[in-house]
Amino acid sequence: MNQKEFLDKVMPFKDKVYRLAKRLLVSSDEAEDATQELYLKLWRNKDKIDGYDNVEAFAMTMTKNYCLDQLKSKRASNLTLVHSNYKDKEISLQKKIELKDSTTLLKKLIDELPEKQRMIIQLRDIENYEYAEIAEILKMEPTAIRVALSRARKTMREKFTKKQNYGII
């Protein structure tokens, strides 16, 4: 496989690789290093890539494993998911504050989930992966993915509602 073929095959999902690494490692620098390391490994094994049906799922699995290895080796100090895409400049200040508070609360609720549920929420709700792809990445059955996702959403919904209605979690 030449360089152009390799790039055509692996570059379309580089942003997803980076976002997953950033969610797991928190630091932008760590995420960039992880992404670079992944693409270096893919390049070294470029001849084996043709053997995989879903190169993107393979790359995401490699990213997840690399990041978890980094976390286990204490290179990163904590595991935090970060997601914020509120950039609408036409909303009121009060609405902006409410959105920021809700986003902060959701981040906190995601952080409190068990690791598998955090990763499933990240891959399904933030990265928009299909259940089969998540199952391949996490080496789980699709039904187990659905159950874990349902439980994670239910837990988050209940805690979010309690906080919004009563100010407690």
CA angle 46, 48, 50 (to 5 degrees): 90
User: Which DSSP string do the residues of 18-64 spell out, in sequence order?
Assistant: HHHHHHHH--HHHHHHHHHHHHHHHHHTHHHHTT-S-HHHHHHHHHH
Note the pLDDT tens digit of each residue in 12-28.
888 998 999 888 888 88
Asked if 67 contacts 23 with a C-beta cutoff of 8 angstroms, the reply is no
Asked if 110 contacts 56 with a C-beta cutoff of 8 angstroms, the reply is no
Inter-axis angle of helices 131-138 and 55-72, to 10 degrees? 50
pLDDT at 59 over 60: yes
What's the rounded Cα separation, in Å, for the pair 58 and 139? 11
Please report which helix (H) or strand (E) contains residue 111, including its range. Answer: helix 93-112
Domain boundaries, the chain: 3-72, 93-166
Asked if 49 contacts 55 with a C-beta cutoff of 8 angstroms, the reply is yes
Tell me, what's the pLDDT at 4?
82
CATH 3.40.50.300 fits 3-72, yes or no: no
| CATH code at 93-166 | 1.10.10.10
What's the rounded Cα separation, in Å, for the pair 130 and 150? 15
Note the pLDDT tens digit of each residue in 107-132.
889 889 999 999 999 899 888 899 99
The residues, ordered by sequence, that sit 6+ positions from 141 with a Cβ below 8 Å of its Cβ are: 135
- What letter represents residue 85's amino acid? N
Tell me, what's the pLDDT at 78?
44
